[in-house]
Structure 1
Amino acid sequence: MSGEYEEVILIAFSEILEIRSKYFDSYHKPWTWHLLSKESFPFSKVIFVCKQHGDSALVFDKNIQSPQPPERDYEKELGVTRISGPILPLEEEVKLYEMFDNKPLIRPPQKSKLKNKKRKAQKNARKINRKN
């Protein structure tokens, strides 16, 4: 970076951490502020943008004294777990936890006849172009 700037602001985002989460203001934000102020962090401010909802929050400002971090709580650091499962059958009992513990269903790649025809056509076109 060349030149002199009054402030350099970093915009951060996450697909996992949400501003509207129960612990963001009381836990994640103070810890972030504390940790960034301890280091020789090169940015004047950090603004966190929640991808999920589009909210934003100031999580660090070099000109404001760092708040005391809350007591460490690993339960609050677990975050959000998103799981995508299969389409659920109607009118049948389903045990979700057992379903989510199953190994992922991975199908072997299928050869497309259209792709093979397209490749052959491209190969023939290259042969014709080389002859000309």
Structure 2
Amino acid sequence: MEIDIDYELDAVDRRVRQTEERALARLDQVGPITGQASDGAVGVEVRPGGQLSQVQLTPAALAGGAEQLAARIMALAEQATRRAGAAMHQALAPVLGPDGEKHLTSLGYEPIDHDVEDVADTVFESPLGPPRRPRR
């Protein structure tokens, strides 16, 4: 049996283009992740993929001193970055399939178990669902 290499290459090229189109369409649905401390003093925005794009502070954020402020910013940014990675995973995993899902995980884009995520002092707005309210 002879293989028509041109036909096979065209078929692979079509599948790659279709996958790319589906992935781009799903990525268009992923917006920035915003996190805000429950007291509203500190807020962050992270782009899909995890790049910190904005930090917002109120005068009240400065009351606890530089170390506390830095720790709050870092904690918010870390949580928002995890959520941004989860949004990427959620958007791309259905398109890329099981092997693609492994690659997403290796890049740090992992799903979040919302039941165990520590958001005690945080409210998030993201494409992963409705804003979370802090636990009391």
**TM-score tier after normalising by the smaller chain length:** under 0.3
Q: Which has the higher contact order (CA 8 A, sep 6+)?
A: 2
* TM-score normalised by structure 2 residue count: 0.22
* TM-score normalised by structure 1 residue count: 0.23
Q: Which has the higher helix share?
A: 2
